[in-house]
Amino acid sequence: MPAVFREVHKTLRSRQREFLRMGVVNASQCPRSPVFTLDMASDLFGKLHTLCYCSEYAPTETPPFGQVYALEYGLRVVQARAKRSEGDVFTSPIMLVTSAIQLHVWMAARFYTPQARETHLGLIKIAREVIDSFEDMVTQWYITAGLESLLWVLFIMVSSFRVHEIPQTTKILGLLYQALRTARISSLDDFEAKLKNWPWITNWHPVQIGIIWEMLCARDPDLVPRIARRDFPEAYSDPRTARHRWFVGGFEFFNSF
Per-residue pLDDT tens over the stretch 19-31:
999 999 999 999 9
84 burial level (CB within 10 Å; 0-12, 13-18, 19+)? exposed
The mean per-residue pLDDT over the stretch 200-206 comes to 89
**Cβ–Cβ < 8 Å for 197, 22:** yes
> Above pLDDT 90, what percent of the chain?
51
Distances (CA, A) of 31 to 12, 19, 73, 136, 226: 29, 20, 20, 15, 31
Q: How confident is the model at residue 246 (pLDDT cuts 50, 70, 90)?
A: very low
**Cβ–Cβ < 8 Å for 102, 123:** yes
Long-range contacts of 191-194 (CB under 8 A, 24+ apart): 191/151, 194/148, 194/151, 194/152
Q: Would you say residue 61 has pLDDT above 70? A: no
Q: How confident is the model at residue 76 (pLDDT cuts 50, 70, 90)?
A: very high
Contacts of 168 (CB under 8 A, 6+ apart): 128, 131, 132, 161
Q: Would you say residue 230 has pLDDT above 80? A: no
Rounded Cα distance between 140 and 223, Å, is 25
The mean per-residue pLDDT over the stretch 125-134 comes to 92
Q: What angle do CA 13, 21, 35 make, to 5 degrees?
A: 115
**Cβ–Cβ < 8 Å for 132, 146:** no
Q: How confident is the model at residue 184 (pLDDT cuts 50, 70, 90)?
A: very high
Q: How confident is the model at residue 64 (pLDDT cuts 50, 70, 90)?
A: confident
Rounded Cα distance between 107 and 160, Å, is 10
**Cβ–Cβ < 8 Å for 180, 155:** no
Mean pLDDT lowest for which of 146-150, 188-192, 252-256? 252-256
Which among 105, 100, 80, 101 is positioned nearest to 91, based on CA atoms?
80
The mean per-residue pLDDT over the stretch 223-238 comes to 50
Q: Would you say residue 252 has pLDDT above 60? A: no
Q: How confident is the model at residue 107 (pLDDT cuts 50, 70, 90)?
A: confident
Rounded Cα distance between 97 and 66, Å, is 21
Look at 144 and 27; give whichever has higher pLDDT: 27
Rounded Cα distance between 39 and 37, Å, is 5
The mean per-residue pLDDT over the stretch 226-235 comes to 46
Contacts of 121 (CB under 8 A, 6+ apart): 164, 257
Phi and psi (nearest 5°) for 33? -160, 180
Mean pLDDT lowest for which of 190-199, 200-209, 216-225? 216-225
Q: What value does the mean pLDDT of the chain take?
A: 81
Phi and psi (nearest 5°) for 48? -70, -40
Q: What angle do CA 95, 162, 187 make, to 5 degrees?
A: 90
Report the pLDDT value the prediction gives residue 240, as an integer from 0 to 100: 36
Q: Would you say residue 46 has pLDDT above 90? A: yes
Rounded Cα distance between 81 and 68, Å, is 20
> Above pLDDT 70, what percent of the chain?
79
Rounded Cα distance between 11 and 151, Å, is 30
